[in-house]
Amino acid sequence: MRGGDALRRDVLRMAANAAYNVEKRNQKPLTDDEFLAVLTREVKTRRESVHAYTKAGRDDLAAREQAEIAILDEYLPAALSETEIAALLDEALAETGATNPRDMGKVMGWLSPRIRGRADGKLVSGLVASRLAGADLAAHDGSPH
């Protein structure tokens, strides 16, 4: 606040307020994981806003949302690389024994706590779906039913 960065101040106040609202709703203090989930949700909301503003031609508002995302990202764990996500996905498939698209829930249930705040859930679920669809096709022998 003393630095005079009004945007940073406002973003951190909004994040603290969002966490406070969740605490009040749950009637208990947030754990570190729950607080991380609040920050992640704030970033996700802003990403959706960036998309909407860009689509509407409001680049000024999209730029502000991007700046807010950058501030919140400083408080989130480092993002996983594609290689790290692929390794976790391999591990998830081995642990859950998933072989077809119907097993997506099991795989995402295993992956979610390990990627929370470190990877975009939509991206990861797309990777899981494509991997499971590929596994299903590989397991299928091609004969008509």
Q: 34-68, pLDDT tens digit by residue? A: 888 899 899 989 999 999 999 999 999 999 999 99
Residue 104 domain flag? yes
- pTM flag (> 0.85): no
Confidence at residue 20, expressed as pLDDT on a 0 to 100 scale = 96
The secondary structure of residue 118, as a DSSP letter, is T
Q: Indicate if 125 and 88 belong to the same structural domain.
A: yes
Q: Note whether 14 and 67 are same-domain residues.
A: yes
In a domain, 145, yes or no: no
What's residue 51's pLDDT?
Answer: 95
In a domain, 91, yes or no: yes
Residue 45's domain comprises 6-73
Same domain, 112 and 64: no
Q: 144 lies in a domain?
A: no
What pLDDT does 76 receive?
A: 86
Residues 67 and 87 in one domain: no
Number of domains in the chain: 2
pLDDT band at 123; cut points 50, 70, 90: confident
Give the CATH number, domain containing residue 16. Answer: 1.10.1510.10
Q: Are residues 26 and 68 in the same domain?
A: yes
Same domain, 54 and 24: yes
Q: Is the dihedral of CA 70, 79, 37, 132 positive or negative?
A: positive
Residues 51 and 86 reside in one and the same domain: no
Integer Cα distance of 132 and 102 in angstroms: 9
Q: What is the DSSP letter of 75?
A: T
Q: Return the sign of the alpha-carbon dihedral for residues 91, 96, 99, 103.
A: negative
pLDDT at 122 over 90: no
Average pLDDT estimate for 67-94? 90
Which residue, chain included where needed, has tokens 């994981």?
A: 33
CA-wise closest residue to 111 among 60, 31, 126, 38: 126
Tens digits of residue pLDDT in 84-115: 998 999 999 999 888 888 888 999 999 988 88
Rounded CA-CA distance 89/83 in Å is 10
- Does 1 fall in a domain? no
